[in-house]
Amino acid sequence: MAIEVKVPTLGESVTEATIGEWLKKPGDAVAVDEPIASLETDKVAVEVPSPVAGVMGKQVVAVGETVEVGALIATIEDSVSPAGDDTPAPRVKDAVAPASSTEPADDAGDAALSPSVRRAVLEHGIDPSTLKGTGKDGRLTKEDVVAAAKAKKDAPAPAASTPAPAAAGSDRREERVKMTRLRQTIARRLKSAQTEAALLTTFNDCDMTAVIEAREAYKDVFAKKHGIKLGFMSFFAKAACLALKDVPAVNAKIEGDEIIYHDYVDLSVAVSAPNGLVVPVVRDVNQMSFAQVEQAIAGYGQKAKEGTLTMQDMTGGTFTISNGGVFGSLMSTPIINPPQSAVLGLHRIEERPVARNGQVVIRPMMYLALSYDHRIIDGREAVTALKIIKEAIEDPMRLLIDL
């Protein structure tokens, strides 16, 4: 008997997804809750598990097609043996015709791939069945896929049988790639923010001397006690909490003709993922310790790299911090993350000459940028909030005495 597999509930306000990858081929044996497909939604990749143990049947939709919640995407053939017991039947090759003749017929891809490996395979366009794994029990690792992609890139292109005429000494190429659903959503939301919000950015610079000295003095004992490195993000997260407490409009949002103020801080932290920028949410940062903030951010960063962020991880958020400094940015005007009303942009630390007590000295400086929705936040409030953050970073004692 064939069991239907349908698109599961994907989360609040998410009604459709795109088939990103089939993890099982028709005829493959599958276990209960074993992922058979990967869906790309507006926010994250979601795996579809098999509801029963059996044999992969028909794939109703192809990779790249859009499906709605509850739509039929595949079937699982009942695995009960003729004797009537519950022993799963062995894999039956060619029991069901493949959904696409372009799928590799090799069995090397039968072993389940980890989420990070699957994301790497999709990102680099590598056929996993052609690779030899170097991991435990011969499993593929992300490094195997990256190495294969590099080798493929470095390999000389095959000569075309009928080369098109080209200008002497030129190597002009074009590649047309369909945007992922995540990238389409990023583009739509960012453009919507520019269109709907009255965006404005205020700047300041920040002397990082005190924070750098504090990290240097306590980094070893901090790591030993908490098992995590003491980074800059926890200082800025706690400094932001001080600012949002004193200037609540920066932690508010517009809903219809009303302003909603939050007495908590759910901090959205922009991190880089294989398919683009994602913004997981660290909840109740105002109640967290430095170590808890660092652990939460590090955990989300790892999940983003592996492609295992969930809908719950991405939902909500009242304020965003985006650190372009890790990529070398000196200054930027970040765009708010709707329906939030403000975002703090961090940048690279650079030694610059500054005046201190009538003397020119060299200090590690960082430019800070606060972009905000002028419909809800006045210029005075935005400047005040950024000044509070600057002062808390330059004098971290303020973070301890709530000043």
Which two three-digit tokens encode residue 128?
């996993």
How far apart CA 72 and CA 60 sit, in angstroms, is 7
Q: What is the CA radius of gyration of the chain?
A: 26
Rounded to two decimals, what is the model's pTM? 0.65
Q: Which of 346, 331, 348, 342 is nearest to 371 (CA)?
A: 342
Tell me the sheet residues that pair with 277. 272
Residue with tokens 């609040």: 12
**H or E stretch covering 144:** helix 142-154
CB contact at 8 A, 309 and 280: yes
The predicted-structure confidence for 303-345, as pLDDT tens digits, reads as follows 888 878 887 888 889 999 999 888 889 999 999 988 899 999 9
Active-site annotation holder among 78, 378, 395, 402:
378
How far apart CA 38 and CA 60 sit, in angstroms, is 14
Q: Is 374 a catalytic residue?
A: yes
How far apart CA 25 and CA 2 sit, in angstroms, is 16
**Cβ neighbour number for residue 34 with a 10 Å cutoff:** 16
Instruction: Report the residue count for the chain.
Output: 403
Confidence of residue 84 (pLDDT cuts 50, 70, 90): very low
Residue 153 pLDDT more than 90?
Answer: no
Terminal Cα distance for the chain, rounded? 68
CB contact at 8 A, 394 and 236: no
How far apart CA 42 and CA 279 sit, in angstroms, is 12
Confidence of residue 109 (pLDDT cuts 50, 70, 90): very low
* Amino acid letter for position 277: L
Q: How far is CA 295 from the centre of its chain?
A: 17
Q: How far are the Cα atoms of 206, 209, 335 from residue 388, in angstroms, in the given order?
A: 11, 17, 21
Active-site annotation holder among 171, 374, 395, 402:
374
Confidence of residue 136 (pLDDT cuts 50, 70, 90): low
pLDDT for the residue numbered 95: 36
The predicted-structure confidence for 235-252, as pLDDT tens digits, reads as follows 999 999 999 999 999 999
Q: Which of 100, 15, 11, 30 is nearest to 61 (CA)?
A: 100
Residue 402 pLDDT more than 80?
Answer: no
Q: Which of 398, 393, 401 is nearest to 344 (CA)?
A: 393
Q: Is 378 a catalytic residue?
A: yes
How far apart CA 248 and CA 243 sit, in angstroms, is 8
Domains of the chain: 1-103 (2.40.50.100), 105-152 (4.10.320.10), 184-401 (3.30.559.10)
Q: How many CA atoms lie within 13 A of 160 on its CB side?
A: 5
